[in-house]
Amino acid sequence: MKLSNPFIPNRADPHISRHDGTYYFTASVPAYDRVVLRASATLPGLAEAPEKTLWRAPPEGPASALVWAPELHRADDGWVVYFAAAPSREIRDGLFQHRMYALRNPSPDPMQGLWEFAGVVDSGIDAFCLDATSFSHRGRRYYLWAQKHPDIPGNSNLYIADMETPTRIRGEPVLLTRPEYDWEIQGFLVNEGPSVLVRHGRVFCTYSASATDERYAVGLVWADADSDLLNAASWHKSPRPVFVTDAESGVYGPGHNSFTVAADGTDLLVYHARNYREIEGDPLWNPDRHACVQPLRWDADGMPVFGRPLREFELPEAGA
């Protein structure tokens, strides 16, 4: 089956997951005022699936504005959505005032049951933070996010921590990567939007860097699957981006990715991008960051091959 990008228009920070044969999609909406979710038995079905609002930001309070980058994760026997939000649109010292929050739902079906606001997920660093994700490895659950540190120049670095519960970290955050290479500091000094994929004896973590225009790009760090993931020395970082703007394809600023799998088990890269270069107005409020999907390949050494952004691709099917 052939699919085209944009896959789902006007949905930034896309997160697609698959559980028990069902695909789930959530993303930032242009109004930044709620958390939404779609479900479908097939990946193509997500494009037309009805969108359910799980939670709306209240009119005031610490999580009342700029709801960004929700992610759905299985937790215990229910579900959790991680997202970031701010008390207002005010910028202080060059940054918004986001903190990380969670929603919980004990239902086996995330499209059913009651979603409740579970409060803040405290990073241990009282500063701008966002883009939380979570993953399990070797019987432990980890939390990974983007965070401003008062002692480090720039907007955000990536941190990792052990999880005590699905909404509480344990121990001190470990600095995983900070903006250091030229391609990570275009416009802003940013490392954000982490996503984890465990394959071929390694734990891979992608992230996005620089301003959210055509300079936005995806980077990669990785660790041996048997290593101590809370030891920064276990991680290796690519000095070059692995996924970038492709003017020939008309894809600009690909980033804030996640991963899912096709029906046949093929790994898929999920990301957002614009299909034109010249942004109209403020990049933050421009709604034209679209959710895109394409296959992820692997080389003979078990390293991911991201390739170029694709405007269309053949979706692998089960049994094909």
Tokens of 32: 């930044």
Residue 46, phi then psi, degrees to nearest 5: -60, -30
CA distance 27 to 31: 12
Kindly list the distances between the CA atom of residue 295 and the CA atoms of 249, 259, 264, in Å, as whole numbers in the listed order.
Answer: 16, 10, 12
Residue from 131, 192, 214, 288 carrying the catalytic annotation? 192
Helix (H, G, I), strand (E, B) or coil at 225: coil
CA distance 297 to 112: 35
CA distance 297 to 200: 12
CA distance 90 to 155: 15
CA distance 207 to 238: 11
| Alpha carbon 60 to its chain's center | 26
Q: Which residues of 253-262 are buried (b: 16+ CB within 10 A; e: fewer)?
A: bbbbbbbbbb
Torsion angle, alpha carbons of 165, 15, 302, 174, to 10: -40
CA distance 161 to 171: 7
CA distance 49 to 186: 36
Q: Does 192 participate in catalysis according to the annotation?
A: yes
Residue from 13, 131, 184, 288 carrying the catalytic annotation? 13
Active site residues per annotation? 13, 192
